[in-house]
Structures are given as structure tokens and as C-alpha cells.
Structure 1
């Protein structure tokens, strides 16, 4: 098998570590094998214990190697959007020999000139994204190679992250016996792969609800314009169930998967299931409605904080609506709850590949597909970032920036924050009130 066509995506999540091995053949991505193990040493997608994370990564890799019948040496690693920053960049160089054509080295040089900004010592470049090149004043050029000119300019964006987070990720991957082919910003990869052309052009909100955190990203004009992160996800729903029902976390996770429903208005009080309660010799019957109220309460807490950020940039006005993905997106009823809460069209993204038909596999699949579809010019720009950051071994991309992760505003649209929900009917408003005085009092104290 030609390993040059093999792409391996590594998703280091808070609850699981997933590996997808895929091959690009005839323009298609074919999945060859999958690894999926319980996560260790990571919180909210960030590695906090390198040794434990390395062991878990190695187990996931071994699973994928066995299923794909290939040896894995290099991986594409997803980087969570927490604490990432994005900013515009521009650079210009003069072509020394006006009679020769612009070549690869010229592209690297103009990219380097765009990144000669003061990079804080605690931050590192992850990615550089070219928007356009300009040759002697002629703009809108996607690839200037082969052209002739006196002056070459590049305009684009660069993304940076905290050096500690990136170092820990690299260290754990290397300790697992692997090299890094590329570091990819998770919502950038997902946005470019999961959304169709129209959704990327006219504007769509992508919300990934993982185990440890929730990320909302806005894709508009085929660019990542804005990101906001909430440090809660599926783990917090499980903890709530455990606390309210006095059952173990393991039982709570099973109850969430077997009986969980996101919208309590759609659930009858009459359906019950047995729960192993701490201190009780026999299981206690609990209604599905109570479980649903617990789940809905936490989801609305998450949605509420995400919505504040989206409202600030009027992202909910974009015609593409909302795409939900991540493991929590598999909860029945979540699309209806989100549609009412955000007052927007909502769809769930589920990969259609055999064996991957669960929204939790959207990210690792996006990592391999995004890397496989990068153009030559995009790869060239990335190679320049590696030269600029010095010995960063195995290739992760790097970039400068110093203002908060992207704004959907600029010249794209200047509407005031959207007053979502102001015109909702009283029936819709009922969805955001947990029924029962006892459960309301509990959640009021609990979340405070």
C-alpha cells in the first residue's frame, strides 16, 4: 500500500481518544481503520498529564493499526479552539530578478514577511491561511507561481495558541512513538469539511458539543470568522445525573445513553426505569421525565453561554442556521431543543461512513479529510510557518496573533446583536422552565 496516500487523524478528547486511518484514492477518502479508547490525562481536550495521555494515544493507535493493517508513524492532531487567537496578516517582497517566474521560495518568503510581527513568548503559531496574493497590484490571485512581476504581496490570517498546550500535545504524541504531520485547529477543519459550499459561503454556526467542552464556530465566506468556547459538555450532564439521582458516574453515563432525552416537554411522566441508588439495597424507579429535566437544564446552561457570544456578532442571523455535532449531539431531542432555544434552523451532522455513523466521529474524520484536500499553495504557506518557528520537528504549523479569536463582523455585516427569542410564543418559552418546584430549587442552587 502507498503510505503517501494514508492520512491518520488523532482526536484527543476529554472522554475518549479517537484515531481514524484513511486513504485518499481517486479523490475520495476511504476509511481503513478506527481506534477508540477511554481518554486519560486530558481535560477539556487539553493534555494535563503527558504520561497518561501518551499511553492512551498508544492504545488507540494500536487499535487502528490492527484494523487498518498498516503501521502508523505520523498523525494529524486536532487542537481545541480554547485560548486560540486569529488575526489578519500581510507581507510583501520584491522579486530580485524581474525576468524569472515566481516560485515556491518566493511564496515562502512573502509568507515569512507576513509573520514578522511581535509574537508573545508564551504563544506559538499553529496555522497560516492565505486569502489572496497580489502581483504588481493585481489582486485576487490564489496561486502566483509561474507569474512574473516586481512585487509580490500576500494577505491572509494566522492562528496561534498557548505554547504550553501545544508543547504538551507534541510531547504526548512523541512519547507515544509518533511524529506529527500537522496540527489542525478543530473548528477550522470541521467547518471546511462538514459544511457544504452554500453553508460555508452564506454563513453557518457549527456547534461541537464534546465531553469536556462545547465549541461554537462561525464559517462565513468560506473562512473561520469567530469561535467561542464553553467549558462544559457531556461530562457535566453525567455528573448532574449522578448528583441528582444519587448514583455512580458509571451508572449515570449508562442512564444518559439508554434513557436520556434532551427536551423534557416531549417526555411522559409515566415511563420509568430502575436506578441503582447509593445506600439503597434495591433499585429505585425514576421517571424518564425527571432524567430529561436534568439533561435539559445543563444543556440550556451551555446554550445560554454560547448564545451570548453568538449574539454579540449577530451570527444567528446567518442563513445557514446551526449544525450540531460532537458526542452529545447524539442525544435524542437535542435538535428540537436547540432550534427553540436559538430560534434557528438546526441540523445534526452524522458521518455516513460505515462504522462511523455517530457525531462523535465528525472531528477525527474532518482532520484527515481537511489535510487531504489542502492545495499545494496552502501547503507551501504552511511550510513557511515551520521555518519561522525554528526547530519544531515534525511539522505542525505555526502563526502569529494577538487579538481575540476572530470576529464575524469586520465588513461582513454590521447588524446589532440579535434579540433571539423576543417574539417566541408562550409555548416555546415553556421549554426553558423546568417543571416541578423541587427540581427548580435544586437546579437554582446547584448551578449557582
Structure 2
């Protein structure tokens, strides 16, 4: 990373689209622009109408451009963990004679060798992360360039996703007039800001409760080891409130934000508030406890399903405990509810940056942090991916100019948890060896 660089994180969520523009000067991140817009064309984290999604993204990008006084040409985008598959890969090449130094081309060649595999026609390689290089039997090498050897090996982790997910993302960005700077798996990006270095190293469960879905991820040894996606999120809590109280969706959302609590034991029947009910001229008084019970029921179901998936993977005893984030975690009492269901220590992560102190901004901030800390080796390896987008130079964001749109689609359906218990335990156990 250079002395100064500008990164744009684009988080396309089911309920809102966030754009954050950050400037890195000598390793220090400064937020210079933020855009947020109500989502359109998405359902449960998946883009169902590209044109509507493009319009919403353009509006969010336009806001960020106006505040940052730059023209946004490229963005760092996230891909949800829906139907994500994680596998270990390795590749080996002969460098040549013993006096030849290993070059960038050799690194690309060994990364390409690691990608040689028969993927199903409906899947595509999204990301390849090197874990170590081996030169003539000497392992645990992070950057082999400049070394001398006759045999070069690389071990890494490959993430694959449904082709539809990537195609929709690229199509939406293209229609919005934006290019992709880097594509990141969402849980990896979130971990960059939500977890400390020690938590990423020793192992932590990270749960992102968004509007349309909830994702549990296991981060260990600074790597993504496991994901489980539940197809429900905060939007379903709002729908429950709307249905039970016969109130409009917007009114239900406002009730959730203003009076909601995920822990019914912390509320009282005596505290009441007016609710606009469809078909009635006068507001109806509803107790704080009743609203809390509606919220608690739905969030409890989500946590229980995620808990079952994490137990199946033997992931709940990691030293880092459980960290939750995402827009829905702004509801008071959610930590107590989560601790009661998971029976482990739980904390909520809220970004500390001025103007972004809400868990809904965690993902967009994480995208920037992830892209900013990519090494030269990471970028070289990423450049061999089919249609891979290598990070672009600093000059891609131009000062001033009128706002230009953006876009990016979402994603598919759940995956990794669906595997048989025995196979999953073996897979997860091997990672921890």
C-alpha cells in the first residue's frame, strides 16, 4: 500500500446499501465520505431485480461522492457466504535450474497449478488465499520471491460460490458504471474490524445479523474455516411486528427501533405506547413487554438454528467466544438473549469511527480494511483467478467531479452447514491441526 490511497467499500444489504470512502495516509484510515440508501431489488441477501438494485446503489454512491468530493470509479465489494464452499488446495511447479530466483511469474504459475480442479459448471472460484509456500522442502514461507530453488509449492484455501452470484454482482456494477477493485467474502471482511488480532488467531465465532439473513462464521488462525447462513434476519422481526399488531411495515420498523428490546425480562407491562393499527381511527396502546416478546421469539429462533449448526461443527468452545454485529444487533437486550441461547460469552461489536457508530456499518468498514491490508503476494495469487479482479492502483479514484453511480448484486443460498456431521467434523478438525 502506498503512502496515500483511497478505498471505497460497497455493502449491498437486503434492507440498505452502504458506501464508505476512506483515505489511508501513512497507514492511518480517515473516513471522508459516507452514503446510505434503502435497498431495492433484493430479497434475503439476493438480488432479484438488477435494475432496481442499480438505481439504489447509484443513489448511495452519489451521496458518498458528494461528501468526499471525489468521483468513484471502482469499489471493494463483498459476497455473502450463501452456498459458499471452503476447501484446502495445493499446487507445485518446477522453477528451473538451481541458480534461478523465484519471480512473480513463478508465484502466479504455482497459484494457477493449485486451481487445477474440476469445478461443477454452476460454481466459480471466488478467492484463493495462500497459507504458505514451500521451496525445496522448506515450508512456512510467506513470500518466496527472490529465493533460489528448483521446486515451488503453494498451499492455500479456495472459496467457491455459485456463478449466478458473481455474474449478478459484476452485471450490476457494470450497469452502474463501476469496476471491481477487490471481491471479498463478507465474513472475512467483517472480521477485520469486529475481531481483535488475538480473537482472529485463537478462534472466534462471528455472527452478522443483517436485514435479510444471518451468517455465522468461524475465524481461526486468521482464516475463515466455516460458515452457516440462516435465511432470516431483522426484516423478519419487523414483519412479525407488523402482522401481530396489524400495523404497516414502516410503522412496525419504527416501533422496533424506538421501543424494541430482545430481552422480555428487562421490559415492563406498565410501559405502553401508541400503535397505529390498520382499520382503526385511534391508536391502540401496546405494552413494551408484548412488543419485546414478539422480537424475542423471532431472534430466538434464528439464534437456535445457528447454535445447532455451530454445535455440529464443534465450534462453540473456541477461546474468542462469540461476537455479534450487523444492523439488527442495535436492538437492546440482544446480547442477553444470545448469551442465554448459546450459553457462551457474547459481545456486540459497534464501529468506533465518528458518524459510523452503528453495527450496520461494520461490513462496509471491513471491506475497506481487508482491501487496504492485502499484500503483494495476495494480489499476485488473486490475479490468476478466472475473471479475477486484481486490486487497482491508487489513481482509480479521481478528485472532484459529479457523482457517478455504483452497483453490485447479492447472492445465493446457504451451504456449508448442510454437510453430513461426520464429514463436516473431519473437515473442520483438519483445519485446526
Name the SS for the 1:14 alignment partner. Answer: coil
Match of 1:265 in 2: 265
SS in 2 for 1:82: coil
**Structure 1 residue ranges (4+ consecutive) displaced by more than 3 angstroms after TM superposition:** 390-396, 403-408, 411-414
Distance between the aligned counterparts of 1:391 and 1:130, measured in 2? 15
Contact 2:183/2:389, CA 8 A, preserved across alignment:
no
Match of 2:218 in 1: 218
Q: Look up the match of 1:58.
A: 58
Equivalent pairs, count: 404
CA distance in 1, matches of 2:387, 2:226: 29
Structure number with greater CO (CA < 8 Å, separation at least 6) is 2
User: How much has 1:4 moved relative to structure 2?
Assistant: 7.0
Residue 289 of structure 1 aligns to a residue in which SS?
Answer: helix
Asked if 2 retains the 8 angstrom alpha-carbon contact of 1:127 and 1:184, the reply is: yes
In structure 2, what is the Cα distance between the partners aligned to 1:348 and 1:188?
17
What CA deviation, in whole Å up to 9, does each residue of 1:53-80 have, x standing for no partner? Answer: 1111110100000011110000011111
> What secondary structure sits across from 1:277 in the alignment?
coil
Cα shift readout 1:357-395 (whole Å, capped 9, x = no counterpart): 00000000000111001111111111121xxx2587998
Contact 1:192–1:222 (CA under 8 A) maintained in structure 2:
no
Alignment correspondent of 2:207? 207
Corresponding residue for residue 428 of structure 1: none
Sort the Cα spacing of 1:301 and 1:404 in 2 relative to 1 into closer, same or farther, 3 A.
closer
Cα distance in 2 for partners of 1:122, 1:273 equals: 51
Deviation at 1:193, TM superposition (A): 3.2
Q: Take 1:188 and 1:392, find their aligned partners in 2: how far apart are those partners?
A: 17
Name the structure 1 match of 2:176. Answer: 176
Q: Deviations 1:262-296 (Å, cap 9, x if unpaired)?
A: 00011111100000011111000000000000000
Report the Cα distance in structure 2 between the residues aligned to 1:114 and 1:35, rounded to whole angstroms. 39
Shift of 1:190: 1.3
Q: Tell me which residue corresponds to 2:9.
A: 9
Secondary structure of 1:102's counterpart equals: coil
Change (3 A) 1:411 1:211: same
Structure 2 spans left out of the alignment, 5+ residues: 393-407, 409-414, 418-423
- TM-score of the superposition, structure 1-length normalised? 0.87
Q: Work out whether residues 327 and 359 of structure 2, in 8 Å CA contact, stay in contact via their aligned partners in 1.
A: yes
Distance 1:239 1:404, change over 3 A: closer
Alignment of 1:331-350 (within 5 A): 331-350=331-350
Which position in structure 2 is the counterpart of 1:410? Answer: 429
Q: Does 1:197 align with 2:216?
A: no
Give 1:148 deviation, angstroms. 0.3
Aligned position for 1:380: 380
CA distance in 1, matches of 2:284, 2:241: 14
Q: Report the TM-score, using the length of structure 2 for normalisation.
A: 0.90
Question: CA offset at residue 96 of structure 1?
Answer: 1.9
Partners of 1:99 and 1:343 in 2: CA distance: 58
Looking at structure 1, the residues matched to 61 and 84 of structure 2 have their Cα atoms a distance apart, in angstroms, of: 27
